[in-house]
Amino acid sequence: MHKLLYILIFFIFSLFSTAQNLNIDSLWNVWNNNKHDSIRFNSITRLIENYTDNNPDSVFYYAQLKYNYALKKKNTKAEIEALLAIGRTYYSLGMNDKSMECFNKCIKIYQKTNDSISIADVYNDIGNVFIEKGELQSALINYLKALKINEETKDKERIAVAYMNIGNIYYSQKKFDAALNNYFIALKNNQELNRKSGIADCYINISAVYSSKSRHEESISYLTKASKIQEEIHDELGLMFSYNNLGDNYISMNNLEKALEMLFISEKIGIEKGYNPTLSVCYINIADIFMKQNKLDKAELYLNKSLKIVDLIGYKEYHKAIYDLFSQLYEKKGNYKKAFEYQKLFSNIKDTLLNEASDRQITEMNTKYESEKKEKNIALLTKDKALLTKDFSLQESKTERQKIFNYIFIGVLLVSLVIAFILYNRFKTNQRLNAELLNKNDELSQKNALIENQKEKIIDNITYAKRIQQSILVDEKVIQSYLPNLFIYYLPKDIVSGDFYWCSKIDDNIILAAIDCTGHGVSGAFMSMIGNTLLNQIVNEKHITTPSEILRLLNIAVYEGMNQGKEEGIIVRDGMDMSLCTINYKTKQLQFAGAQNALYLINNGQLEIIKGDMHSIGGRESNVDPYKEKYTNHVISITENMSIYLFSDGYMDQFGGSNRKKFGMQQFKELILDSRHLTIQNQKEKFISTHIEWKRNESQIDDILVIGVQM
């Protein structure tokens, strides 16, 4: 119920962990009295490190001392270290614009030194700032810059970090398949390095995606893998988090006893190690379970335990969750006065959090405005100073000559007056131009805001259309109830998709199809809705189960429904390619028919290709008679260890690799053959990771759909 990101818990925990006992006075004396630069820099660096987690004011003070001294000594390395310390402290305080200013300075200095690895690290810092500002696209751009550099330097550890960061962006956007793709690549890099902490982090992130997709058994599987590694490397904090998330998954599965078992293990670790912030989350989850079991006194006990910790750390998000549960608890107990009091506390802290977020945005905007204002004033003063200096030099020269030619003095005075008049006139003109520019900027800002608003509305509408489209797709778990050993890799290019999958069960017949509609995005999505509706009518209503007959009737229905035979006016030529099969385990027969698309089949370890017919569904020219077109029905005996694959052309058409070419049919065949010995879930992971590695920084060019079934 109360899922919290691992990185957030780790950050809060770090505020309470025991710092090293550094002798601050001694370090300060070294800085003030030692004459050796290297020793002085070392002492100030240790002072900064000592205060990093708990005293930002001291970090600013010491980092500024280090920065000024580095400039004086022309020590570029120390200069950058100081800037990074200042920038990261600004970031931790939510002062994003100032943080960004420091990081951009670092980039410029690093570019002069050609230190590409450090540049990549700072791009990651900049990406983190954009995440805080809610500018996910800008964050993604910087993470990709970091990834590109790290791939050039072949730094697998940093490559893994970049893919994790990119995955986190997709996760926050609820683009779960894209998030998984990146997490699996990060996992592969960590596994090649045998970097166990990184592997465990990948497992945790992958489990979070599966949990968000309500695939709790898979989430539990990855959390279990993570916990084994965490035990091995003695990562107690990570282990506590994993058990807490295991409890969360079991709560979602309504297995409350198992959830309590996991949470009590988490609680035990927290008490032994003193992980108070994480322990407070554990207590909240335990209280939630006891409320579900109507054990209200126990729930109250654990809520009070959590509140005691949260009062110490002062984390308002936790307060909000606790107050909300207290309100529900006392309502269940019939103590409506206390329920109202806690509901009021919940509302107040919710408003406070909203106001703080708003105040932070206003402060950042005001800081940016003041900074821009100062820069304009400095530019004007510099310009005026240059003009006045020029005038002064001219006047000084004329004064020398005055000793010889007294009458020139009058001329100089007149020239000065003329220059003053010109300067005044220029000043007034600049004032007028600035006013006009401000008005134009206001107009542009209003137009941009209008365009942005319209864009948001369009995206909102398309996103809502995505929800409608997803609602028509048969749930993967339903299909797996018919075909247990099945995977579906479905990755739309845009928000909505022109590819879709379809499945139904009529008596002993399981009908499965992969459909690729003309185009992608909105146009393809409209065709997918039409195709889905017509398949439901043909199969579910008319009980037609022979693949060739299904395609024949679908072809006619599209032709008639979209008026593709009319001779004038707007003629829609859109259609769809598809592969469709009927599986009957009772008769041990597989029937297949295809429109442009084939069926790939692994039988006795060999790849067989069953080709479809060379005409699509719909999209006919006016001189073609769809009523006479037929599709071939292939009948195949189901054998042990047989596997089948249905797919659209998006996977094979993706550009990528070192030569920026298409993945192609031959590599697709090799991928299927290489995967044939793997479990169905591992096959899916291999298809995903291979696609991402091939694509890398290239844009996805089409919707992707691959279905695999082990018979």
Neighbours of 545 (CB within 10 A): 20
Last residue of a domain, one of 85, 114, 143: 114
Shortest CA distance to 675 belongs to which of 609, 610, 605? 605
Residue 38 confidence class, pLDDT cut points 50, 70, 90 = confident
pLDDT at 672 over 90: yes
Q: End-to-end distance of the chain based on CA atoms, in angstroms?
A: 37
Last residue of a domain, one of 93, 114, 135: 114
The confidence score (pLDDT) of residue 275 equals 67
The confidence score (pLDDT) of residue 384 equals 44
pLDDT at 119 over 60: yes
Last residue of a domain, one of 408, 434, 468: 468
Residue 480, Cβ density class (10 Å: 0-12 exposed, 13-18 middle, ≥19 buried) = middle
Specify the number of domains making up the chain. Answer: 3
Write down the mean pLDDT value for the chain: 79
Please report whether residue 324 resides in a domain: no
Residue 378 confidence class, pLDDT cut points 50, 70, 90 = very low
pLDDT at 625 over 80: no
pLDDT digits (tens, 9 = 90+) for 266-301: 888 888 877 676 788 888 889 889 988 899 999 899
**Same domain flag for 510 and 392:** no
Greatest alpha-carbon span in the chain = 122
**Same domain flag for 598 and 486:** yes
**Same domain flag for 553 and 684:** yes
pLDDT at 603 over 80: yes
The confidence score (pLDDT) of residue 392 equals 39
**Same domain flag for 393 and 459:** yes
**Same domain flag for 426 and 575:** no
Compute the half-sphere exposure of residue 188: CA atoms within 13 Å on the CB side of its CA: 15
What tokens were used for 627?
Answer: 């009523």
The confidence score (pLDDT) of residue 14 equals 35
**Same domain flag for 493 and 591:** yes
The confidence score (pLDDT) of residue 437 equals 65
Please report whether residue 365 resides in a domain: yes
Residue carrying structure tokens 């007294």? 406
| For range 467-494, the mean pLDDT | 86
For residue 480, which amino acid is it?
Answer: Q
**Same domain flag for 454 and 553:** no
| For range 40-63, the mean pLDDT | 74
| DSSP state letter for 640 | T
The confidence score (pLDDT) of residue 418 equals 65
Residue 223 confidence class, pLDDT cut points 50, 70, 90 = very high
Contact (Cβ atoms closer than 8 angstroms) between residue 102 and residue 87:
yes
The confidence score (pLDDT) of residue 632 equals 96
| For range 11-32, the mean pLDDT | 52
Residue 154 confidence class, pLDDT cut points 50, 70, 90 = confident
For residue 206, which amino acid is it?
Answer: I
Say which CATH number the domain at 513 has. 3.60.40.10
Please report whether residue 408 resides in a domain: yes
Shortest CA distance to 260 belongs to which of 240, 243, 275? 243
Please report whether residue 300 resides in a domain: no
pLDDT at 412 over 70: no
Please report whether residue 203 resides in a domain: no
For residue 481, which amino acid is it?
Answer: S
Write out the residue range of the structural domain in which residue 413 sits. 360-468
The confidence score (pLDDT) of residue 483 equals 94
Residue 588 confidence class, pLDDT cut points 50, 70, 90 = very high
**Same domain flag for 680 and 590:** yes
What tokens were used for 130?
Answer: 């954009």
The confidence score (pLDDT) of residue 566 equals 56
| For range 145-164, the mean pLDDT | 87
Residues of the chain above pLDDT 90, percent: 25
Q: Which residues pair with 500 in a beta bridge?
A: 515
Residue 372 confidence class, pLDDT cut points 50, 70, 90 = very low
| DSSP state letter for 628 | G
Please report whether residue 218 resides in a domain: no
**Same domain flag for 611 and 675:** yes
**Same domain flag for 409 and 528:** no
Please report whether residue 549 resides in a domain: yes
Shortest CA distance to 208 belongs to which of 229, 226, 190? 226
The confidence score (pLDDT) of residue 406 equals 53
The confidence score (pLDDT) of residue 435 equals 66
Sign of CA dihedral 444, 446, 449, 451: negative
**Same domain flag for 695 and 600:** yes
Residue 355 confidence class, pLDDT cut points 50, 70, 90 = low
The confidence score (pLDDT) of residue 702 equals 87
What tokens were used for 126?
Answer: 């900049």
| For range 410-414, the mean pLDDT | 60
Report CA dihedral (189, 193, 198, 200) to the nearest 10 degrees. 100
What's the distance, CA 251 to chain centroid?
26
Residue 394 confidence class, pLDDT cut points 50, 70, 90 = very low
User: What Cα–Cα distance (Å) separates residue 356 from each residue in 68, 89, 90, 135, 370?
Assistant: 34, 19, 17, 19, 21
Please report whether residue 580 resides in a domain: yes
CA distance 165 to 163: 5
Say which CATH number the domain at 77 has. 1.25.40.10
**Same domain flag for 626 and 565:** yes
Q: Which residues pair with 501 in a beta bridge?
A: 514
pLDDT at 199 over 60: yes
CA distance 412 to 203: 81
pLDDT digits (tens, 9 = 90+) for 304-336: 988 888 777 666 677 788 888 888 888 888 888
DSSP for 481-517, written as a single string: HHSSSEEEEEE-SSSS-SEEEEEEEETTEEEEEEEEE
